[in-house]
Chains A and B, each alone.
Chain A
Amino acid sequence: MSDDILLSLHGATKLYAGVPAIDGVDFDLRRGEIHALVGENGAGKSTLTKVMAGVVNLTAGTMTIDGVAVSPKSPLEARHLGIAMVFQENSLVPTMTVAQNLFLGQEHFYNRLRGIYIAAQQFLQSLNFDVVPTATVGALGAAKKQMVEIARAVLHNAKVIIFDEPTASLTPEEKKYFFDLVRDLKKRGVSIVFISHALEEALLLADRITVLRDARKVVTDDASTFDRARIVQAMVGRDLSHTLYGVRKTTVRTAGARVLTAQNLKMAPMVRNNSLSVFAGQITGVFGLVGAGRTETFKIVAGVLKRDFFYGGEVFLHDKPVRFRVPAPAVRAGVAYVTEDRKVEGFFETASIARNIYLGLTAKFPSGRALLSRREANKVGREWIKKLNIRAIGDEARVVELSGGNQQKVVIAKSLAQEPDLIIFDEPTRGVDVGAIVEIHELINRLADEGKAVVVISSYLPEIMALSDRILVSRQGKVVEELSALEATEEKIMYAAIH
Chain B
Amino acid sequence: MIGAIREFADRLLGRGDATIAVPSFDGALKPNQKLEEAEILLECAAPEDLATDGRAIYLANGPRLLRLQGGAATELRAFDQPISALASLPGGGLAVALGGREVHVFPEPSAAKPRTIFAAGLSALNALAPAPNGTLIATDGSLTRGVDEWAWDIMERGHSGRVLMLDPASGSSKALATGLGYAFGCCATADGALVSESWRHRLIAVRRDASTSIALPHLPVYPSRLSPASPGGYWLTAFIARSLLVEFVLREPAFRKRMMAEIEPRYWIAPRLRSGDSFKEPMQGAHIKTMGVVKPWAPPRSYGLVIRLGADGAPLYSLHSRVDGVNHGIVSAIELNGDLIMVAKGPGRILKLPIAPLDKEFGT
Chain A residues with CB under 8 Å of chain B are 252, 254-258, 261, 263-264, 275-277, 279, 309-314, 316, 319, 323, 470, 472, 479, 482
Which residue in chain A gives the minimum CB-CB distance to B28?
A: A255
Cα of A250 to Cα of B244 in the assembled complex, Å: 37
Cα of A256 to Cα of B28 in the assembled complex, Å: 10
Q: With A255-B28, A316-B218, A319-B218 in contact, is A261–B13 under 8 Å at CB? A: no
Interface residues of B in 28-43 (CB under 8 A from A): 28, 30
* Chain B residues, Cβ within 8 Å of A319: 214, 217-218
* Chain A residues, Cβ within 8 Å of B172: none
Cα of A311 to Cα of B27 in the assembled complex, Å: 25
* Chain B residues, Cβ within 8 Å of A313: 19, 21
Are A311 and B30 within 8 A (Cβ)?
no
- Closest Cβ of chain A: how far from B83's Cβ, in Å? 36
Are A314 and B363 within 8 A (Cβ)?
no
Report if B14 contacts A (CB, 8 A).
Answer: yes
Q: With A255-B27, A255-B28, A261-B218 in contact, is A312–B22 under 8 Å at CB? A: no
Are B27 and A263 within 8 A (Cβ)?
no
Cβ contact of B20, chosen from A254, A255, A264, cutoff 8 A:
A264
Are A277 and B23 within 8 A (Cβ)?
yes
Q: With A261-B218, A313-B21 in contact, is A277–B26 under 8 Å at CB? A: yes
Report if B314 contacts A (CB, 8 A).
Answer: yes
* Chain B residues, Cβ within 8 Å of A263: 19, 21-24
Q: How many A-B residue pairs have CB under 8 A?
A: 62
- Closest Cβ of chain A: how far from B71's Cβ, in Å? 34
Cβ contact of A277, chosen from B21, B24, B214, cutoff 8 A:
B24
* Chain A residues, Cβ within 8 Å of B26: 275-277, 472, 479, 482
Are A470 and B27 within 8 A (Cβ)?
yes
Cβ contact of B14, chosen from A255, A256, A311, cutoff 8 A:
A311
Cβ contact of A482, chosen from B20, B21, B23, B30, cutoff 8 A:
B30
* Chain A residues, Cβ within 8 Å of B14: 310-312
Are B20 and A311 within 8 A (Cβ)?
yes
22 A-B residue pairs with CB within 8 Å: A252-B363, A261-B23, A264-B20, A264-B22, A264-B244, A275-B21, A275-B23, A275-B24, A275-B26, A276-B24, A276-B26, A277-B23, A277-B24, A277-B27, A312-B14, A312-B15, A314-B15, A314-B21, A316-B218, A319-B214, A472-B26, A479-B24
In order of increasing CB-CB distance, the 4 nearest A-B pairs are A311-B14, A275-B24, A263-B21, A264-B21
Chain B residues with CB under 8 Å of chain A are 12-15, 19-24, 26-28, 30, 214, 217-218, 244, 314, 363-364
Most chain A CB neighbours (cut-off 10 Å) among B14, B24, B28: B24
Cα of A331 to Cα of B22 in the assembled complex, Å: 26
Cα of A16 to Cα of B364 in the assembled complex, Å: 57
* Chain B residues, Cβ within 8 Å of A276: 24, 26
Cα of A479 to Cα of B12 in the assembled complex, Å: 27
Q: With A316-B218, A482-B30 in contact, is A309–B22 under 8 Å at CB? A: no
* Chain B residues, Cβ within 8 Å of A275: 21-24, 26
Q: With A252-B363, A316-B218 in contact, is A279–B27 under 8 Å at CB? A: yes
- Closest Cβ of chain B: how far from A300's Cβ, in Å? 14
Please give 4 more A-B residue pairs, beta carbons under 8 A apart, in addition to A255-B314, A261-B23, A314-B19.
Answer: A252-B363, A261-B218, A275-B26, A311-B14
Most chain A CB neighbours (cut-off 10 Å) among B14, B363, B364: B14
Cα of A261 to Cα of B21 in the assembled complex, Å: 11
Cβ contact of B27, chosen from A258, A309, A316, cutoff 8 A:
A258
Cα of A180 to Cα of B202 in the assembled complex, Å: 56
Cα of A311 to Cα of B214 in the assembled complex, Å: 26
- Closest Cβ of chain A: how far from B296's Cβ, in Å? 13
* Chain A residues, Cβ within 8 Å of B13: 309-311
Are A254 and B363 within 8 A (Cβ)?
yes
* Chain A residues, Cβ within 8 Å of B30: 482
Which residue in chain B gives the minimum CB-CB distance to A255?
A: B27
- Closest Cβ of chain B: how far from A145's Cβ, in Å? 38
- Closest Cβ of chain B: how far from A448's Cβ, in Å? 15
Which residue in chain B gives the minimum CB-CB distance to A251?
A: B363
Cα of A470 to Cα of B30 in the assembled complex, Å: 11
Which residue in chain B gives the minimum CB-CB distance to A264?
A: B21
Cα of A314 to Cα of B18 in the assembled complex, Å: 11
- Closest Cβ of chain A: how far from B61's Cβ, in Å? 37
* Chain B residues, Cβ within 8 Å of A254: 363-364
* Chain B residues, Cβ within 8 Å of A252: 363
Which residue in chain A gives the minimum CB-CB distance to B18?
A: A311
Are A257 and B314 within 8 A (Cβ)?
yes
* Chain B residues, Cβ within 8 Å of A472: 26
Cα of A83 to Cα of B218 in the assembled complex, Å: 62
* Chain A residues, Cβ within 8 Å of B21: 263-264, 275, 313-314
Which residue in chain B gives the minimum CB-CB distance to A278?
A: B27
Which residue in chain A gives the minimum CB-CB distance to B363?
A: A254
Which residue in chain A gives the minimum CB-CB distance to B247?
A: A264
Cα of A252 to Cα of B363 in the assembled complex, Å: 9
Cα of A277 to Cα of B364 in the assembled complex, Å: 20
Are B19 and A311 within 8 A (Cβ)?
yes
* Chain B residues, Cβ within 8 Å of A312: 14-15
- Closest Cβ of chain B: how far from A311's Cβ, in Å? 3
Most chain A CB neighbours (cut-off 10 Å) among B19, B23, B244, B314: B23
* Chain B residues, Cβ within 8 Å of A316: 218
Cα of A312 to Cα of B15 in the assembled complex, Å: 8
- Closest Cβ of chain B: how far from A290's Cβ, in Å? 23
- Closest Cβ of chain A: how far from B110's Cβ, in Å? 44
Cα of A255 to Cα of B19 in the assembled complex, Å: 27
Which residue in chain A gives the minimum CB-CB distance to B244?
A: A264
Cα of A312 to Cα of B23 in the assembled complex, Å: 14
Cα of A275 to Cα of B26 in the assembled complex, Å: 9
Cα of A263 to Cα of B217 in the assembled complex, Å: 14
Cα of A254 to Cα of B26 in the assembled complex, Å: 14
- Closest Cβ of chain A: how far from B317's Cβ, in Å? 10
* Chain B residues, Cβ within 8 Å of A256: 314
Which residue in chain B gives the minimum CB-CB distance to A313?
A: B21
Which residue in chain B gives the minimum CB-CB distance to A315?
A: B21
* Chain B residues, Cβ within 8 Å of A323: 15
Most chain A CB neighbours (cut-off 10 Å) among B13, B21, B23, B217: B21
